[in-house]
A and B are shown apart, each in its own frame.
Chain A
Amino acid sequence: MTYVSQPVSVSLIMGKVLLALGLGIAAYVVYFGPAIVISLVLASVTALAAEAFMLRLRRYPVAPFLKDGSALVTAWLLALSLPPLAPWWLIVGGTLFAIVVAKHLYGGLGNNLFNPAMAAYALLLVSFPAHMTQWPAVDMLAQAHLSLAEALRYTFTGRLPAGVTVDAITMATPLDFLKTQLKLGHTVHEITRAPVYGHLGGRGGEVVALAYLAGGLFLLQQRVITWHVPLAMLAALFAAALWFHVFDPDRYVAPWFHLASGGAMLGAFFIATDPVTGPTTPRGKLIFGAAIGFLVYLIRTFGGYPDGVAFAVLIMNMAVPLIDTYTQPRVIGHGRQQERP
């Protein structure tokens, strides 16, 4: 029997994940306005209520499970993936789907096959494509700025302050803009001179990505996650982008742009690293991460959606049992030829 244990708990791990997201959220607020806070709160409240309801329904002790923090992490990841100006029902509905269907109907904490936040995101994306593209314009380019109260009213009622149009506060994302402009026959070089682009990726968005990266490094340092998935995913995305970029820089954007745009950083450090829905073996994690990175590139470059993190993660979630089966590490004392002295 083991009488001692490390002072570590699921709550502590989830708490560190939330803490690591803090920096990214701060950057988000700075560059895209306070609306994201509304989505975060809305998603959190919904997630906790849904979690409590499901736990009671399944006759589980509510308090210890609610305290594990996993519902909050799901809520935050979903909220950070959705456009912050989305109507309240989109956020609430998505969170309910994530907690009730993707998590509890699959057996609750530790048993779900798909990443709940990504499952909900994918559902919303295919069900409500128009609402899912209402991304806020980065602060310095927006023609109007919504205060917290105005954003709150917009989220719940869809009414904007007098004289402000939706176009004044929203804008195509850098990935989206790139995709449509390429279709119109422009070269990457021409497109990325548009004001929406910054040094690496989109203006503002690149800073948020860097903040996520910093949060991810914190998680690595805290040993909440291992390096395998983020490194493999980012490296694969980078390598694929580099290959095409070198081959035709006019049609294929630079690899650093891919790393700094869309859900790459959030996905690499916070979503693809979800232990429940990811592989357990070190080699499996590398394969899983690399496949996601590669799929993200394929979807972004050749697919119908501007970003592909959610779909890439969901596709690879399905492959996890297979990956685990074929990447079992060599157990000590097995295999390798044992030479006698």
Chain B
Amino acid sequence: MRTLHPFPGGVHPPEHKLESNSRPIGSAPLPSLLVVPLLQHIGNPAKPVVEAGEKVLKGQLIGKADGYISVSVHAPTSGKVLAVEPRPVPHPSGLPALCVVIEADGEERWVERSPIDYLNLGVSEVRNRLRDMGLAGLGGAVFPTYVKLNPAPDAAIPILVLNGCECEPWITCDDRLMRERAPSIIEGARIMRHLLGAREVIVAIEDNKPEAIAAMGEACRDTDFELVVVPTLYPSGSGKQLTQLLTGREVPSGGRSTDVGVQIFNVGTAHALERAVHHGEPLISRVVTVTGNVRRPQNFEALIGTPLAELVKLTGEPRDDTTGYIMGGPMMGFDLHSTAVPVVKAMNCVIARSDRLFPPPPPPLPCIRCTRCAQVCPVRLQPQDLYWFAHARDFGKAQEHHLFDCIECGCCAYVCPSHIPLVDYYRFAKSEIWAREREKKAADRARERHQFHLFRLEREKKERAEKLAQKAAAAKATAAMPNPDADAKRAAIQAAIERAKAKRAGVVPRNVEALPPDKLQEIQEIEARRAKLREVMEKSGEDQA
């Protein structure tokens, strides 16, 4: 039996799991139009590799991973690409983002699927395949899975944790998935363990999911995986808190769980990995909880790109008092700005909002420093101080008080008797600090550039002046001073001339070399005759003149 190491704080809001976890995972019908965003993960958006008008097959690559922190995106069904254009996507900002719009042809024709032979392929090859299969964490953070399976060379990851805590209220997609597809999840974990080289595998599930615990226990029976039932306490499913709960190790500030030898994957991710490795299916669908103010709350396996409106329709006629939709849980989720947004890899839950289920908070009162927030903070921050600093725009102080260790779990806001939206203040402070740092960097760069510009002007001026001075000096030197260079040159020329002369003097015509003596005699006689003749001619010449 593993000793648990409870993290500080935590809250236990009403669970509201029963609404949606009593029905099996339904399969959402094929919509006529699918909108697939190219950025559904943390990191760089995938690069589109299809164009409007192109035919695509189910599972065909439509967006290629770009850079290290990125994964690919695939066509969820076969059909025709209508457009590659910005469309509304599920994001707190409500801003549109680049999407591939596909008109389904209803044939569901698959691209050729090739399973990954992970035992015989190199680990790095397997990881690249997983990237190309579009795998990202399905717990909600959508971090590229292949990157998480790539431990630093010196850092072994001895513990692999399969996260089935699902601690946020209302969400039950992991619960249903564990009940219905436990063997696939466990197989996925086995592959992950192989890739990571992890020594042990822990499957963590909160004790409010007895059916899931039973199913996963059954699936774990022939393995050495350890099933750990943890108490239901939000936010036990958060990576750092789960790491502490299971191992007692605190993830260092600014670090990740891998820094203390723990790698955590959501159970949904393990399932998706198993589909990818054994069946060659890229990540084109996921289980989504549709709950809240709907008639028949249920989990659905929906294709990525399915418009929200289509998904919501499956739970019955929308109710009149529905005021909007929340993506994620009620603790950390955010408002969706339209029902046109598609299902994305991060969408674990959609909650229909109504004032009855989620009464709007009364206007906030001043903080009375009651420290209920501090008592529930899982990071042991002093939220009332952070609020004070953020409110006063004293961001330096907020940073000193470890603002960036805040995991934005919302426990503080949940218990605040003054109903202050505390997390909003922390996000505001963080974004202000980031903005200021960006501005400062930009200003630094501009200043450096300007200084270099000045330096360059100065340098050029100096160089010009030096050149001018050199020229002037050279002119003077040739005029007045013995120039050693020129002397040497002259000497060299002289020497060459001498050498040539000497050569010429020393040259003996080759045809007179080594002649026999009689011939030499003859030549001399001839020469003598010619000399005589020359004398005579010279004399006569003088006479004539």
Interface set of A (CB-CB < 8 Å, partner B): 1-6, 8-10, 12-13, 61, 64-65, 68, 70, 108-111, 223, 226, 275-276, 278, 280-281, 324, 328-334, 336, 338-341
Closest to B369 in A: A275
Do A2 and B240 touch across chains, with their CB atoms under 8 A apart? no
A70 CB contacts on chain B under 8 angstroms: 368
B219 CB contacts on chain A under 8 angstroms: none
Closest to B407 in A: A332
Q: Which of A5, A110, A329 contacts B380 (CB 8 A)?
A: A329
Q: Which of A1, A9, A65, A330 contacts B417 (CB 8 A)?
A: A9
Do A280 and B358 touch across chains, with their CB atoms under 8 A apart? no
The answer for the CA separation of A332 and B244 in the assembled complex, in Å, is 10
B366 CB contacts on chain A under 8 angstroms: 108-111
Do B417 and A328 touch across chains, with their CB atoms under 8 A apart? no
Instruction: Knowing that A223-B372, A275-B368, A333-B253 touch, tell me 9 more A-B residue pairs with CB under 8 angstroms.
Output: A1-B421, A3-B331, A6-B415, A9-B419, A10-B417, A110-B418, A275-B370, A332-B244, A341-B158
Most A-side CB within 10 Å, residue of B366, B381, B424: B366
Closest to B367 in A: A110
The answer for the CA separation of A333 and B7 in the assembled complex, in Å, is 11
Q: How far is the CB of A329 from chain B (nearest CB, A)?
A: 5
Interface set of B (CB-CB < 8 Å, partner A): 7-8, 11, 13-14, 158-159, 169, 240, 244, 249-255, 259-261, 326, 330-335, 353, 358, 361-363, 365-372, 374-375, 378-382, 384-385, 401-402, 405, 410, 413-419, 421, 423-424
A329 CB contacts on chain B under 8 angstroms: 380, 382
Do A4 and B370 touch across chains, with their CB atoms under 8 A apart? no
The answer for the CA separation of A30 and B453 in the assembled complex, in Å, is 88
Q: How far is the CB of A159 from chain B (nearest CB, A)?
A: 42
Do B423 and A2 touch across chains, with their CB atoms under 8 A apart? yes
Q: Which of B249, B261, B365 contacts A10 (CB 8 A)?
A: B365
Do B417 and A12 touch across chains, with their CB atoms under 8 A apart? yes
Do B379 and A332 touch across chains, with their CB atoms under 8 A apart? yes
Pairs of residues from A and B, 3 with the lowest C-beta to C-beta distance, nearest first: A110-B366, A2-B410, A341-B261
Closest to A12 in B: B417
Q: Which of A5, A68, A278 contacts B365 (CB 8 A)?
A: A68
Q: How far is the CB of A17 from chain B (nearest CB, A)?
A: 11
Q: Which of B240, B378, B405 contacts A334 (CB 8 A)?
A: B405
B326 CB contacts on chain A under 8 angstroms: 3
Q: Which of B8, B333, B334 contacts A332 (CB 8 A)?
A: B8
Do A333 and B169 touch across chains, with their CB atoms under 8 A apart? no
**Given A338-B249, A338-B259: A3 and B382 interface contact (C-beta under 8 Å):** no
The answer for the CA separation of A182 and B369 in the assembled complex, in Å, is 42
The answer for the CA separation of A276 and B370 in the assembled complex, in Å, is 7
Q: Which of A1, A3, A278, A331 contacts B402 (CB 8 A)?
A: A331
Q: Which of B330, B415, B418 contacts A3 (CB 8 A)?
A: B330
**Given A9-B417, A332-B405, A333-B252: A275 and B365 interface contact (C-beta under 8 Å):** no
Do A341 and B260 touch across chains, with their CB atoms under 8 A apart? yes
The answer for the CA separation of A41 and B275 in the assembled complex, in Å, is 73
Q: How far is the CB of A310 from chain B (nearest CB, A)?
A: 21
Q: What does DSSP make chain B's interface, helix, strand, loop or mixed? A: loop
B369 CB contacts on chain A under 8 angstroms: 110, 275-276, 278, 280
Q: How far is the CB of B245 from chain A (nearest CB, A)?
A: 12
Q: Which of A13, A64, A324, A336 contacts B370 (CB 8 A)?
A: A13
Q: With contacts defined as CB atoms under 8 Å apart, how many contacts are there between chain A and chain B in the complex? A: 139
A-B pairs with beta carbons under 8 Å apart, 12 shown: A1-B423, A4-B414, A9-B417, A10-B418, A61-B363, A64-B365, A109-B366, A109-B368, A110-B369, A278-B369, A328-B401, A341-B260
B372 CB contacts on chain A under 8 angstroms: 8, 223
B401 CB contacts on chain A under 8 angstroms: 328
Q: Which of B363, B380, B419, B423 contacts A331 (CB 8 A)?
A: B380
Q: How far is the CB of A318 from chain B (nearest CB, A)?
A: 16
B365 CB contacts on chain A under 8 angstroms: 10, 64-65, 68, 109-110
The answer for the CA separation of A324 and B419 in the assembled complex, in Å, is 23
B385 CB contacts on chain A under 8 angstroms: 280, 324
The answer for the CA separation of A4 and B414 in the assembled complex, in Å, is 6
**Given A9-B362, A111-B366, A275-B368: A4 and B418 interface contact (C-beta under 8 Å):** no
Do A280 and B374 touch across chains, with their CB atoms under 8 A apart? yes
A339 CB contacts on chain B under 8 angstroms: 249
Do B370 and A1 touch across chains, with their CB atoms under 8 A apart? no
Do A331 and B405 touch across chains, with their CB atoms under 8 A apart? yes
Do A2 and B414 touch across chains, with their CB atoms under 8 A apart? yes
The answer for the CA separation of A111 and B405 in the assembled complex, in Å, is 26
The answer for the CA separation of A329 and B374 in the assembled complex, in Å, is 10
Do B371 and A1 touch across chains, with their CB atoms under 8 A apart? no
Q: Which of B240, B253, B384, B424 contacts A1 (CB 8 A)?
A: B424
**Given A281-B382, A333-B250, A338-B260: A5 and B361 interface contact (C-beta under 8 Å):** yes
Q: How far is the CB of A218 from chain B (nearest CB, A)?
A: 17
Do B413 and A2 touch across chains, with their CB atoms under 8 A apart? yes
The answer for the CA separation of A305 and B253 in the assembled complex, in Å, is 51
Closest to A223 in B: B372
Do A333 and B251 touch across chains, with their CB atoms under 8 A apart? yes
Do A4 and B380 touch across chains, with their CB atoms under 8 A apart? no
Q: How far is the CB of A279 from chain B (nearest CB, A)?
A: 9
Do B415 and A333 touch across chains, with their CB atoms under 8 A apart? no
The answer for the CA separation of A1 and B353 in the assembled complex, in Å, is 13
B260 CB contacts on chain A under 8 angstroms: 338, 340-341
Closest to A278 in B: B369
Do A5 and B414 touch across chains, with their CB atoms under 8 A apart? yes
Do B384 and A280 touch across chains, with their CB atoms under 8 A apart? yes
The answer for the CA separation of A1 and B421 in the assembled complex, in Å, is 8
**Given A64-B363, A110-B367, A333-B240: A8 and B417 interface contact (C-beta under 8 Å):** yes
B370 CB contacts on chain A under 8 angstroms: 13, 275
Q: Which of A8, A110, A275, A330 contacts B371 (CB 8 A)?
A: A275
Do B13 and A331 touch across chains, with their CB atoms under 8 A apart? no
B417 CB contacts on chain A under 8 angstroms: 8-10, 12-13
**Given A6-B414, A333-B379: A338 and B384 interface contact (C-beta under 8 Å):** no
Q: How far is the CB of A339 from chain B (nearest CB, A)?
A: 8
The answer for the CA separation of A12 and B371 in the assembled complex, in Å, is 16
A336 CB contacts on chain B under 8 angstroms: 250
Closest to B385 in A: A280
B416 CB contacts on chain A under 8 angstroms: 5
Do B330 and A2 touch across chains, with their CB atoms under 8 A apart? yes
B402 CB contacts on chain A under 8 angstroms: 331, 334
The answer for the CA separation of A10 and B369 in the assembled complex, in Å, is 11
B261 CB contacts on chain A under 8 angstroms: 340-341
Do B331 and A2 touch across chains, with their CB atoms under 8 A apart? yes
Q: How far is the CB of A132 from chain B (nearest CB, A)?
A: 29
A4 CB contacts on chain B under 8 angstroms: 13-14, 169, 330-331, 358, 414
Closest to B12 in A: A6
Q: How far is the CB of B166 from chain A (nearest CB, A)?
A: 16
Do A330 and B380 touch across chains, with their CB atoms under 8 A apart? yes
The answer for the CA separation of A275 and B370 in the assembled complex, in Å, is 5
Closest to A13 in B: B417
